[in-house]
Amino acid sequence: MLLIEKDSWFAIQVTPRHEKRVDAILQQQNYGHFLPMRRTRRKWSDRVKVIEQPLFPGYVFVRTQSCSVGRIHRMPGFIRIVSFGGRPCSVPDIQIEALQRIVDSKRDICPIPYLASGQKVQIVTGPLSGLIGIVSHYRNCGRLVVSVDLIMRSIVVQIDEEELALLSPAPCLDLTA
């Protein structure tokens, strides 16, 4: 019986300020690709301009089979594929889908330091309903943190607290029995 390997998302670390170039090359070579971008205001001495910047500087996501990852190594701007123990590690589809939905929602987003623990919630109404993340408060505003565990990066999006529902904690295992 022949096993067909499923395409997975992988995080590629790229040369600083080469994210758009690597993303364009991935598109030309017909790879599934995702470069999350955010809009920021930059102030110069004579004007203020809104520009698009990578949400995770130094990273681009590619969708391919793990056996095909070797072809990406020869790409200009490529540094490495995020790996553990010498094996490329895939990013869960649900995390990439959450990032895509947040970027497509056109809400204000900004990267924040990675959070490993916190109260997990699910958004129950609005355009982001179904997303799971960690609640945080900043300047009396509710915010939802969505993390990509593999590259230890997080983003935050402003939300209304009425959109949230707490997730029930995982049941504890009784090891004394």
pTM attached to this predicted model: 0.70
Angle CA(134)–CA(32)–CA(5) in degrees, nearest 5?
90
Tokens of 28: 């030309």
What is the pLDDT tens value at each position of the chain, 177 positions in all? 445 567 899 999 999 999 999 999 999 999 999 999 998 888 888 888 988 999 999 999 999 887 777 778 888 899 999 988 888 889 999 999 999 999 999 888 878 766 444 567 777 788 888 888 877 665 556 677 777 777 888 888 887 766 777 776 544 333 333
CB 61 within 8 A of CB 73: no
**Sheet holding 164-166: strands in order across?**
109-112, 153-158, 141-148, 132-138, 120-123, 164-166
Q: Facing residues of 33 across strands?
A: 62
Locate the domains of the chain by residue range.
1-91, 92-169
Q: 92-169 has which CATH code?
A: 2.30.30
CATH class given for the domain over 1-91 = alpha beta
